[in-house]
Amino acid sequence: MVDLAQQHEAGFVRLKDISERQEISQKYLESIMTLLSKSGMVEGVHGKGGGYRLTRPTDQYPIGEILLLTEGSLAPVACLDCQGPDCPRKASCPTLPLWKQLEAKITGFLSSITLADLMTRDEALWI
C-alpha cells in the first residue's frame, strides 16, 4: 500500500514493479491485492496498461484498517481473536485485562496512523 501511495501519480502500477521494488514475491502480492481489491481499497485493471491503484486519498487509509484486512486480527493473544476458540479460562484469567488493554492500545495506535503519515516519514506524528 505504501508503494502504491508513492506511485499514486503514475496511475495503475504493475504488480511486477511493486514486487521488484519491495522485494516481495509476486505470488504473495497477488493474494494480498486480491483481498485489497475485493474490499475496495485498491482498484485493479487487467491487460496492457493495467495494474493497481488506490481508490481514495492516502490520508483516508488508516494503517489499522489495512492490517486488519490483510492479517485478519490485531489481537495480541489467541483468546482475544474473534475467530479463535473461546478460552475456558476466560472468566478466571488474571492476565486477560492486560491483553484487552494492549489490544485496545495497538488498535488505537494503528488506527491513528494513515498511509499519508507513513509517506512523511515523520515519526513525531505517531507519538
- pLDDT, residue 121, reads 74
Overall residue count recorded for the chain in this entry: 127
Q: Report how many helices (DSSP H) and strands (DSSP E) the chain contains, helices first.
A: 6, 2
Q: Tell me the pLDDT band of 49, cut-offs 50, 70 and 90.
A: confident
For 115, the grid coordinates are 498511509
For residues 70 and 72, give the distance between their C-alpha atoms in angstroms, rounded to a whole number: 6
pTM equals 0.84
For residues 45 and 51, give the distance between their C-alpha atoms in angstroms, rounded to a whole number: 5
Question: In the predicted model, what is the mean pLDDT of the chain?
Answer: 90
- Domains in the chain (CATH in brackets) are 1-57 (1.10.10.10), 63-111 (no CATH)
The predicted-structure confidence for 97-108, as pLDDT tens digits, reads as follows 999 999 999 999
